[in-house]
Every structure is written in C-alpha cells, then in structure tokens.
Amino acid sequence: WPRSTSAHPDGLRIAGIPVGELAARFGTPAYILDEDEVRRRCRAYRAALPGFEIAYAGKSLTCRAVLRWMAEEGFSLDVCSGGELAVARAVGFPAERIILHGNVKTAEDWKAALGYEIGRVVVDSLDEIDQLGSLARHPQRVLVRVTPGVDGHTHKAIATGVEDQKFGFPLRDAMTAVDAVLAQPGLRLDGLHCHIGSQVSSVASFELAARRMVEFAGAIRDRHGVVVRSLDLGGGHAVPYLPGQQEFDLTGYAQRVRVAVSYTASQLGLPVPQLTIEPGRALVANAGVTLYRVVTVKGRYVAVDGGMSDNMRACLYDAKYLVRLAGRSSSAPLRTVSVVGRHCEAGDVIAADIELPSDVHAGDVLAVPVTGAYHHSLASNYNQICRPPIIGVRDGWARPLVRRETEEDLLARDVG
Ligand code: LLP
C-alpha cells in the first residue's frame, strides 16, 4: 500500500496515517498495529533489563509478522500450544529460543514441540513429566512450574500465583515434581518457572515471587546437590489502558528483582541464575488500536460494526476502554453514551458511560486504543461474524498482516 499523503480533516493519526483513511482503505472493524511502537517497547525492555532473557508471550498476539519482529529484536518466544508453535515454525523462529508451557499439552503439542526440537518445556504436572520423559529422544531441557503463593492483586480470572489453582505445583508439592524430573533420563532440569498473573502492577509481588523461587532452588541443591541454572519469572507486567493510569515501573522491577535474586542466592551460597521474563501485553497492547464504524445511534447507545467477537476483554474482565471519535474532528459538546456492539447479548458493551461528542452519527469512525494484546487472540466468530484484519502501520505505510476473515473462510470448515 502506498505511503499516505492525504490531509484528512481530523487530528487523529496512527503512524502518520489519518485514521479515516485507514478505515476507508481497509474497512472496519480493523485492528491497527503500529510496528515502530512494538519495536520501541521491545527496545525499552532490552535497555531496562540487560542480561535478562526476554521471551515474548505469544498468546497476547501471534501472527507471522509479530513473531518475525520478535525474532529480529533478539527475543525468545513463549508458546502455549502446537498452533502457536506452527506460526513460529512458519517464520523460522529459532527453535532453541522457544519455551513451551501450559497446563495441558496434548499429543499433538508434544509432537510439534519435539519435532521442532524446541529449547525448553515448562512442565506443569506429574503426568506430563512421565509423558515427556518417555517421548523425548534427546535429553529435553525442562523448567518446573511453581505457584509461589503470591497474590498479584489482579482480576481473579488472570491471577495465577495463588496456590490453589490449575497451574503448576504449589511450593509444598514442587519438590515431588523436581524428584520426578531428575528420575527421568530423558529430561534435564534447567530451571524453575512461575507466572503470578497478568496485568499485575505491584513490583513487590514479583520481588516476593523471585525470592521464593531462589529459596526453592536452595532446597533443590540441599536435597539433590543439583544447581538450578535458570529462573523464568513469567510475564504479567501491567499496562495503562486509560489516560492517567500508571506505566509499569520497569526500572524498579529490574532493580528489585535483580537484587532480590542475587541477595537470596548469595545468602544460600548459590550462583545467580540466568533470569528470563515473558512479557506479552506490555510489548503489544499499546501498539494496537481497533477501528469501528458507527452503524446507528439510538438514544444513549452508539452501536458499532464489531463488539464482543473482537473485544472479549470488556465482557470477560469488565475491562475499561477509551473510545475516541477518529475519522473527523468535532466541537460539539460532549454527552454520556455507551458504545455497544452488534452481538445478540445485552452484555456486548465496548465501553459504558463514556463521553463522546453529541454529534456522533452513523458512518463515523471510532477508535479504541490499547487493543493490541488479547484482542485478536481472543477473537471469536460468535454470530458467524468474520474476524477483523490486522493492519500493520509504520511511518506512513500500511499493509494487512492478517487479512479480514470472509464468509467463505467460515463455510470452508463447515463440512456437514
Ligand atoms: N507467561 C505465562 C506463563 C502466562 O500464562 C502469560 C499470560 C504470560 C506469560 C503473559 O502475560 P502478559 O505479560 O501478557 O500479561 N486474556 C487475559 C490475559 C491472560 C494472560 C494469560 N497468561 C487478558 O486479556 O487480560
């Protein structure tokens, strides 16, 4: 697509391109993804966390282009299914930099992981340790996932550090998992893994988890004489969704986690482990904007051509979003409206009780920022609605990264 040269009469541009032009060219709804913003965030992580291995959490947004960018930025990759791994393979993502985790790994997932000879597997149950131990042809490096009993103070659907839940081994059982890994000749214990939750802003929670993990590494050394080489502290760094919300304190995180790990390790006479983190949302959320077109305005309801099929977060977590009139400017006074979707549910609300200019009408383009993470990846075909495209933008250029789904795509799978 050619470089944008148009001078649209609105103030809102993404990567230098007027939003109205993007909506006209690519249709709506559409996810717009700003490549420079993703790379800028990757570089900010790299600069703030020298010496850390940074593994992009592919579940937040996986498509070929994004995984290519991550590979180019020197990142590792955290996948949680054979499907995510297939995209990684499709772009030749270096296998040794891939980490597979998840509480369920099917026979297909194992086949994909072992077939591609990925670097590390995070084991999540005793059954898995047996399965992987008998399947692995070469010694497979594994991390044992531990739930360190740390509350990340986030929405309960995305809190994964508290002990009673489906992920990992609570500290009281984790040694049994370590015993089982060490008893399998096909497995090599590389390290420990934890992920305390997502959209976590408390650096103190990460610090506490890191300390507990090192202490557990000390217990492993005492019992087995084995030194754990690496600690993967998961992702979950919060991002601001609304104006006025705080950015995650990345510098504080880097400092406090590093000190907690080295201090605890030195107290226990352990070498400092290699540290890995797995941010997803923090790298892509703020680089994404969803564009919708207003289809009708009825009283205080502004209804658009997308909804819960492209934004599940509002329904699932009661997540709050900013909505802006984007295709033109308006000096009309603001009024309180709810922006609702097209799906057959009263709960299909993108943003309740927000302010928009009172002259918003059918045909207007609305932009919803901070939709780069867990939007495309959580999208569904509810009501047989086709999923939106991802349009990559960079410095005045725009091109589809993932094309819009069509009714033919939907029918192609329906073979009955
Ligand atoms: N590592 C592990 C093991 C994870 O389970 C997750 C996210 C991450 C890393 C990346 O977390 P992040 O840095 O992106 O917060 N759908 C929810 C989020 C679910 C997160 C699941 N695990 C949402 O939209 O808020």
Average pLDDT, the chain: 95
Q: Is 133 annotated as a binding residue?
A: no
Residue 102 Cα: closest atom of ligand 1: 3
Domains of the chain, by residue range, sit at 13-33+285-406, 36-284
* Largest pairwise CA distance in the chain: 71
Mean pLDDT of 329-341: 96
Q: What is the pLDDT of residues 243-260, one digit of tens each?
A: 999 999 999 999 999 999
The residue count for the chain:
416
344 in active site? yes
Would the CB of 218 count as within 6 Å of ligand 1?
no
Q: What is the pLDDT of residues 26-72, one digit of tens each?
A: 999 999 999 999 999 999 999 999 999 999 999 999 999 999 999 99
Rounded to two decimals, the pTM is 0.96
User: Hey, which of 78, 194, 198, 278 would you mutate to test ligand 1's pocket, going by the most ligand atoms within 8 Å of its Cβ?
Assistant: 198
DSSP state of 81: S
Q: Quote the distance between the C-alpha of residue 363 and its chain's center.
A: 32
Ligand 1 geometric centre to CA of 7 (Å): 39
Residue 155 Cα: closest atom of ligand 1: 25
Ligand 1 geometric centre to CA of 148 (Å): 17
Residue-level pLDDT at 6 = 52
Mean pLDDT of 127-143: 96
Which CATH number is associated with domain 13-33+285-406? 2.40.37.10
**Helix (H), strand (E) counts: the chain:** 12, 20
Specify whether the CB–CB gap between 342 and 2 falls below 8 A. Answer: no
Residue-level pLDDT at 137 = 87
Kindly give, in sequence order, each residue whose CB lies less than 8 Å from that of residue 5, ignoring residues fewer than 6 positions away.
Answer: none
Residue-level pLDDT at 152 = 77
Residue-level pLDDT at 1 = 47
Q: Is the pLDDT of residue 2 over 60?
A: no
Residue-level pLDDT at 410 = 97
- Residue 165's pLDDT band, with cuts at 50, 70 and 90, is confident
ipTM over 0.95 threshold: yes
- How far, in Å, CA of 23 to CA of 105, rounded? 40
Q: What is the pLDDT of residues 186-201, one digit of tens each?
A: 999 999 999 999 999 9
Residue-level pLDDT at 51 = 96
- How far, in Å, CA of 325 to CA of 352, rounded? 15
Per-residue CA distances from 9 to 12, 109, 293, 359 (Å) = 9, 50, 17, 16
Would the CB of 154 count as within 6 Å of ligand 1?
no
> Which CATH architecture is the domain 36-284 placed in?
Alpha-Beta Barrel (3.20)
